[in-house]
Structure formats: C-alpha cells, structure tokens
A and B are shown apart, each in its own frame.
Chain A
Amino acid sequence: MNEELILQHGLTLDEFQVIRKYLNRDLSIEELGIFSAMWNEHCCYKTSKKWLKKLPTDNEIVIQGPGENAGVIDLQDNDGIAFKIESHNHPSYIEPFNGSATGVGGILRDIFTMGARPIATLDSIRFGLIETEKTKYLLNGVVHGIGHYGNCIGIPNIGGECEFESTYDFNNLVNAMAVGHVQKDKIFYSKPKSIGGLIVYIGSKTGKDGIHGASMASDVFSEEDEDEKRPSVQVGDPFMEKLLMEGCLELMSSGLIESMQDMGAAGITSSSVEMASKGNVGVYINLDKIPLRQPLSAYEILLSESQERMLAVIDKKNNRKVREILQKWQIDYEVIGEITETKRVVFESNNKKVVDLPVEIIVDDAPEYDREFYIPRKRKNKDFDFSKIKLEDMIINLLTNLNYLDKSWVFDQYDSTVMGDTIREPGQSSGIVKIHGTQKVIGASTDCNPLYIRINPYEGMKYTVAESYRNLIACNINPLAITNNLNFASPLDPNIMGELVLSINGLKTAAVKFNTPIVSGNVSLYNQTNEIPIKPTPVIGMVGSNMDLNKINTNKFCEIGNKILILGKQLTKNCSPYLLQDQKIAFNICEFNDLEVLDLDFEKKIANCVLELSDLKCIMSCNDISRGGIFSALLKMQYKDMGFRVKVPDPIDLFCEYSAGYVIEIRSKDFEEVTSFLTKKGAEYLEIGQIIKEGIEINSKKFDYFDIMNKYRNDFEKIIS
C-alpha cells in the first residue's frame, strides 16, 4: 500500500505498521478506511485518553458513565437523566447552517439511543471578532442551524453561551448539549445481548454526505481547504429525525429492541465496531442490504456520515412487529446482518468479504499517545494603573462589547417553550425544565472561561467548573454531574498539550470537590487555522436538580425597595482578567497576572448558604457574579423596568470578578434573619443598595435607565447586522 494513501487516511506510517504486523497481510481499501475512521482523535481519543482516565466518573447517582452514547444519572424514583455535549466545530465553519444543525441532530440521537426522550438542548458557541463579514455569516448560519433543527423536532433550547474573541476568527466553535429523561428500568445500551440477533438499519438512506467527516474533524485546517472539504459536511433533516425519534422510542417502550447505537461520526463503521466491542462478539453485515440514496461503493457506504440513521439489534421473532411500527412512522428499515460469535467485524459486498478484521485490533489496539507537554511558567505579579479609569467609560466599554449585551437576538431564534415544561428560558443563569408529570426540575448550564485557562489552565479550569456550579446554585438547583467538551488547538504543540493536561487536572480537582462526576464528553483537537490556535476552550455542561419546582429562584428582580446583598469574595483588580481585558487595561496575554487560587471549600460554603436561604424563601432573586462583575450581574437581573441604586467604596469594584460571587435580592423584613444566618455561617456579605423603579444610580450618580437598557437590549442586533 502506498504511503501517500496511508497518510491521506490520517494514519501515521508507524500506526500503519502496527496494523500490518498484526494482520500479517495487506489491507483492503475498505479496511484502511475503517482504521482511518476508528483511529483518529475523534473516535479513539488517542491523545487525551491517558488524561481523561484520571477524571472522576462515578458516585452514588451515576447509572452510566462515559463510554456509552450518553451518561445517565439517577433522579430518584424511576427517573433517570441522560445527557451529553458534543462539538461540531469544523463542519460549522465550512457550512455553518448544516454543520450546526447536524450537531444538534447528532447529540439528540445520542440521547434517544439510550431510550431517553430529549427534554432540553443547550449550546456553547464561539466566534471571531464581529468586524469581519465572515463572522457575521457564521453567526447567522450557526444560530439559524441550531434553531432550525431544534425548533422543528420540538425540543426546547433552554440556554447556553455565545462569545466573541479573535482567536476564533477562523475556527468558530459549536458545542451542542442535550438532556433527556429516561425511566431507569428502560435504559438501552449499545451492547448486544445475544448471538444470532439481527442487526437492523433504521432511518434515512445512506448517501455521500460526510464521507471522512470524523477524520476531517481531526485535522488542521488552512483557509483554502474550505471549498475542498465542503462535501464532507453532513446535511440534516430534522423532520426525519423527529420521525426516527418517535419510531425508536416506540420500539424501545414496546420492548422490541435489544440494543441500539446511532450512526454518528464514522457512520456504520463506528457503530457496528462499537457494538461488537461492547458485547465482546462479532458482527456480520451485508452492505448490499443498506438502503442507498445513490449508487455507492462499499468504501463509501462504510464511511458515509449521512444523518438520521440508527443501528439496532433485535430478536428474529420481532422482525415483523418492528417493521410495522416503523412503517407507521414512514421510516426505512432493513435487516442487514447479524451478531456472530467470531469476535470479528465482517462486511460483505457483492458476495465478497471486503472487510474481515478482529475487533481487538480496531478497538483495543488503537493507539494511545503520551504526548510531550510543557507547564506554563509562573507569572510575575505587577500592578496596573487604574487611576485614569472613569465609571462612565467602564459602562460604555461593557455596552459596546457583544459579550456583555443581552443575547435575545440569538435566543429568540430558538423555541424555548415547546413541550410545555420550560421553567427558565435562555438568558438566565441556568435553563430549567420540569420532568413531565412530576414536581422535579432539571437545571443545566454550559460555561467556559478561555481567558482564565490560557492564563493558568489548572486554576482557570477550576473557575470554569465553579462558574457552572454557581449558575445552578443561583437558581437553587443542586449540581449533580458534568459533561465536558474539550476544545483545543493542536496537541502536537507541547504548550497546547500542557493546557489540555492541566485543565483536565483542574476539572478533576473541582469535580471531586463538588461531587459532580463527569459522565460523558467529547474532545475536539486541532482547532487552529492558518497556524492561529484557539484559546483553550474546555466547555463544561453541568446538570443539577431540585425535587420541588416551587423552590426555584428567579434571576430577575422581584420588587422595588428590596435590598441587594453581595456574597463571595472579590478578586483583586490586578487579578481580574476580564476586567483588565475588557476595560482595555491589558491587551496581551503575557501581561496578565496569575489567577488567584480558587478556594473550592469557600465556594461550597457560600453555595450552601444560598441553597439554605433559598429553601427558607428568603431569596427573592439571585444571580451569580461572573464576567463584568456586579454591574453586569445587575444588568442581567433587570426586569419590568426595575433598576438599582448602589453604593460601593470604589466604583471599579463593581466590575471586578469574584470567587463564590452572588447578588441576592432580599426583602427588608428578612434582612435581620438573612444577615444573622450569614454571620452564623461565617459568610461575609456586603449590603450595596436596593431595587428602584426605572433608575440606575451608582454612588449617588444617576444614569439614564432607558438609555442603558435600550443599549443593553438592542445593540447586539445593531452591532452584528
């Protein structure tokens, strides 16, 4: 086999030699395609596996950790919650609408493959600077794609994040998360149960779309690549997915399916190999039986990433019943093979075995690398000059920065109330939905602090986890578990690899402390174009619950006259990265001081105070303090034309970041009770002011409420159009 062909398939020559030696024969082109699909980063985590193994993945509520289509946690009674986040970065850059739409489609299939009905989606999207036409095009396409798919299939989008920063100029990020509800006794796994079970194909016909998608997603881009790679982007059909979802859920609830696996990255190759590997069995598939949209070669069928397809194993005796149910939903269905005891993956085409490989070599012998990494050197501390900063300018700096403005333009394109169970919509600190027919609610938040992680990957990751944690706590949601999406540039650069390793360590430390295991996740490497690496962006999706929907806090102001209190500890001005960056005091990453060490015990202590006060019904509204400090938190809390009057020693304090930072609104009559409670718990607080009608007042200086609110609410749309 010639070298060029091997390299084109994303394998190194060393990797190829391992295969060659094991098989002791030449590979067919189809077999090479299989290794190309299964041995890339996207499918076998060859760079990150060593470090991911260190993450905590289990505790008393974890039903299913990483390794299945989605993680599942226990929500008492017979309720389980399945959730996962996944990236669709490269496809969304090449073709933003379809790339992001199929990202949503893929993650939804991961959820209902487990037997869970999806009940919410969230996303985390990042773009370059809005000044370029390209960013506007990407933003419009991505938001349209996410919205179109979710709206059509009818799953509410309940939250997420949308940020702009220059390193994403040629490498935007699209991470989509989905949450589903499953009955604990009806969870489905990809492991087949019996030898002789029929392998069946359910869903859309197979076409040329997405061939080599998974290996593309593991590749570095150059700008000229764009047009050449376009045929590799899958095209989504949310209507078909809706039918597929209803059909599959009906099959599963009727007990007609043994196991199921969605055909995602690397299509039928990956799904069938994983099935065989999980069950420690073999698979035989006749490729001539696969429903095709157009004539395809065996090689193309194996690597197609056509959307809305499922692979399932059924007992022979259920064949007719399965066919009937799927006919009702107008879904293609075909028996394509069977589970064998050979422990080999065999694909046949035109009466010829085109692939005949032991499962072992594909899965167990997949490469695992221990790549070289550097630990960032210690930063020197320096003092910045804040003397020239004026309050008015600080406010203007925030109101002219997309990252601080109200993002209704994005959220309003998503249906967030379909299914009728939405309690908190996007734009609040966490999205919340009710478990249908119960009083239980699920809250979820997606977060990342790339600037923090670039400054100090370990501490920065702790801050990122803490931010998700605070987002849930602010709503009186108990944080339960995490899904993660590690977006990084090329791990072949030891500096980038260092960020990856240290941030995973930070994730581990925080997850252990908060008792929030990582139950599912995704890794997306090589996010760099034209040699510009993205900032390290390990996104966290955290899920939590409250058993009583009446105890949930709002993030919006409740009543004029109520007092505003601050909990937590302010980071010093010199160590508040976003303050320094967004107030244009520090420009270059090397200028920043190191992060203050985040005290996770302190985070937990303050969080427990918020939860207890919420249960006592003493908190009227609450929001966490993050980028943009108290001022930004207060802006987000404005509601029904209510504003705020505050007094602080130094106005700059209002823009500093916090550890364990929360703004809480309390009634005057509860002031004694709340403050003595906090004192008893040893939690310091700061009373900074009160809620007023149609006004913003800082240290006796009055600002035009409607002018500020008008900018806050409407300028996002103006800036991006």
Chain B
Amino acid sequence: MSFKSAVITFPGSNCDRDALCYLKDLTKGEVHNIWHEETSLPKVDLVILPGGFSFGDYLRSGAMASKSKIINEVVKHANDNRYLLGICNGFQILTEIGLLEGALIRNKKLKFLGKNCFIKKKFQNNFNLSIKDNQVLQIPVAHNEGNFYCDTETLNLLKNNEQIAFEYCKGEFSNNEENINGSIEAIAGITNKKKNVLGMMPHPERAYSDFHQSQDGRLIIESLIS
C-alpha cells in the first residue's frame, strides 16, 4: 500500500518545496501540495507543516498561520490518528494551534542559528523507530526562535508521557556544542500524547540526499513507512 502525504504552503513558507521533494524521493507515493486557503485535505498518511516565515512571522512565529482556513482540516487529520509533522516554523505553528505543548522562544544568544546540529532520540515513537538508541544524527537547523520552553509541570508531563522525541547532543568531534539554542533539557522535538504529531526544529528535509552533508534525515520517513 503506497504511502500518501501532503505539504501545506502558507504565504512565507520557504521549505515547502524542500519538504515536497523529501516526501516524493523517500515515500515514492502520492504527494500533495495544499494552499493555506483550502478547506479540505485529501486523505493522506502524513501531513507536513514546512519551515519558513509564515505570514512574515510578524506577530509571534506561527501565530497567524495557526488561524489559517486549512488548520481545521489539519487538526481533524491529527485527531484521526494520522501523522502530522511540523518542521521549524511548522513546529512553531503546532504549538500555536495547541496540538503540542510549550513554546519556542528566541535562541539563547538572541541570534539566528543556521548550522549543522546533532540530535539523538530520547523516547521512542513511530517517527524515530528506525533510529538506534544513542545514535547521533547530523541535521541542519535554521531558526531564530527554536529555544523550546515550557513550565516544570508541563516538562514533567512530557517526560512521564515519553513525549520528548529528540534532544540536542554533542557530535563526535571537538567543535560543537551540546545544546545549541538553549532549549530546556536540550529538547529538539516533541510529540503529542498520542505520539502521532511531531514538532522538531532541525530540518530532516535538508539531510536525506546523497549530495547532502548527511543523510540522517531519511530515518524519520523510513521510520514512518516501516
């Protein structure tokens, strides 16, 4: 059975094409591109909210996009127990919708951060099944507001429910940091309670092809398909 997926495009999305290529190349199935003003969503296995600066991010990052027409359908899709992945701005949108806990505030150094980062999985879910424990993945980040924050109560919930999917870690060599943006407990990605919705700051769609510096981003789609 072929794997079907869709990518939502908001005005200001700039990783929508990258996400479409990522899905086309790795799932080999049908991939739809959906404009934010649409009011219906095809029945697909996975929806990606891509990175970018939706609506210029002039309010809070992701705040405007979370009120788009298509979002009702996205929420239905998630409530239907199908997969929803928010990458970077997509993660920010998911927290604004309320599908994910916490918020993404400005990076610790108050500067945009565009570089390779290293992550490993914390708790297992269907998005990271194919990743071994303690396996270090190299995936680029590119964000200004990627510093994950939540209160202690929420943090405990996230831990108790095993909702932390990825955490930043140190790479193998001397020149990298452990927690690049100051996220609480170095959190790089979290899921909802049912673990069918994942938000992550690193961009797996920029690390999957043989010409990319790393192909570790494949593992997420491979996990979902397996």
Within the complex, what minimum Cβ distance (angstroms) separates B114 from chain A? Answer: 4
Q: Find the residue from A238, A412, A415, A420 having the highest chain B CB count within 10 A.
A: A420
Chain B residues with CB under 8 A of A423 = 211
How many chain A residues touch B (CB < 8 A): the figure is 35
Residue of B nearest to A154 (CB): B14
Question: What is the minimal beta-carbon distance from B148 to any residue of chain A, in angstroms?
Answer: 19
| Residues A138-153 near B (CB distance < 8 A) | 144, 147-148, 151-153
Residue with the greatest number of chain B CB neighbours at <10 A, chosen from A239, A329, A414: A239
**Are A239's CB and B175's CB within 8 A?**
no
- The distance from the CB of B213 to the nearest CB of chain A, in whole angstroms, is 8
Question: Given the complex of chains A and B, what is the CA–CA distance between A408 and B115 in angstroms?
Answer: 9
**Which A residues touch B174, using CB under 8 A?**
641, 706, 709
B11, B12, B15, B173: the one contacting A418 at CB < 8 Å is B15
Q: Which residues of A contact B57 (CB under 8 A)?
A: 152, 239
Using CB atoms, name the residue of chain A closest to B14: A154
Give the chain A neighbours of B144 by CB distance below 8 A. 151
A71-87, CB under 8 A of B: which get 1 and which 0? 00000000000000000
CA distance A329 to B10 in the complex (A): 10
Whether B211 lies near A413 (C-beta < 8 A) is no
B65-81 interface with A by 8 A CB criterion: none
Residue B114 contacts which of A414, A419, A549, A641 (CB distance < 8 angstroms)? A414
B206 at the interface (CB under 8 A from A): yes
Which residues of chain B in 136-161 are interfacial with respect to chain A, using CB atoms and an 8 Å cutoff?
Answer: 140, 142, 144
Partner of B56, one of A238, A329, A640: A238
Q: B155 CB to closest chain A CB, in angstroms?
A: 28
A573 interface residue per 8 A CB criterion? no
Task: Provide the B1-43 mask, 1 if CB < 8 A to any CB of A, else 0.
Answer: 0000000000110110110011000000000000000000000
Q: For residue A394, give the distance in angstroms from its CB to the closest CB of chain B.
A: 24
Contact check, B205 vs A330: say whether CB atoms are below 8 A apart: no
CB closest chain-B residue, reference A147: B112
Secondary structure call for the B interface: loop
Chain A 416-431 interface mask (CB, 8 Å, partner B; 1/0): 1111101100000000
Taking the complex as formed, is A713 at the interface, i.e. its CB lies under 8 A from any CB of chain B? yes
Residues on A with C-beta less than 8 A from B53 are 151-152, 154, 238-239, 242
> A288 near B: Cβ within 8 Å?
no
- Contacts known (A152-B56, A706-B174); A418 close to B14, Cβ less than 8 A: yes
- Binary CB contact string for chain B from 73 to 113 against chain A (1 if under 8 A, 0 otherwise): 00000000000000000000000000000000000000111
A499 to chain B, nearest CB (A): 37
| Distance A421 CA – B134 CA, assembled complex (angstroms) | 29
In contact, A413 and B114 (Cβ under 8 angstroms):
yes
* CA A420 to CA B58, docked complex, whole Å: 25
Min CB distance, B158 to chain A, in Å? 28
In the bound complex, residues from chain B placing their C-beta under 8 Å from that of A419 are 17-18
Q: Are A413 and B111 in contact (CB under 8 A)?
A: yes
Q: Is the CB of B175 within 8 A of A417?
A: no
Asked if B123 is an interface residue, CB under 8 A from chain A, the answer is: no
Q: Does A237 contact B (CB under 8 A)?
A: yes
Q: Decide yes or no: A148 and B112 within 8 Å by CB, A418-B14, A713-B175 being known contacts.
A: yes
Q: Given the complex, which residues of B lie within 8 Å of A416, measured CB to CB? A: 114
Q: Complex formed: what's the CA distance from A237 to B52 in Å?
A: 15
**CA–CA, A437 to B162, complex, Å?**
39
Q: Is A434 an interface residue (CB 8 A)?
A: yes
Nearest to B37 among chain A residues (CB) is A328
- Name which residue of chain B comes closest to A638, CB basis: B175
Chain B residues, Cβ within 8 Å of A720: none
CB-based contact A420/B14 at 8 Å: no
The answer to whether B122 has its CB under 8 Å from any CB of chain A is no
A154 to B18, CA, bound (A): 11
Quick one: which of B18, B140, B203, B211 contacts A434, CB cutoff 8 A? B211
| B99, chain A: closest CB distance, angstroms | 24
Given contacts A151-B142, A640-B173, A641-B173, contact A420 B52 (CB under 8 A): no
Tell whether, in the assembled complex, residue B205 and residue A709 are in contact, meaning their CB atoms are under 8 Å apart.
no
Q: Does A618 contact B (CB under 8 A)?
A: no
Distance to closest chain A CB from B211 (angstroms): 5
Q: Lowest 3 A-B CB distances belong to which pairs?
A: A154-B14, A239-B56, A420-B18
Given contacts A415-B142, A420-B22, 16 further A-B contacts (CB under 8 A): A151-B144, A238-B53, A242-B12, A243-B11, A329-B11, A408-B115, A413-B113, A415-B112, A417-B142, A417-B206, A418-B142, A420-B17, A420-B18, A422-B206, A549-B211, A709-B174
A-B contact pairs, 13 of them (CB 8 A): A144-B111, A151-B142, A154-B53, A243-B11, A412-B111, A412-B115, A413-B113, A415-B112, A416-B114, A417-B140, A420-B212, A549-B211, A641-B174
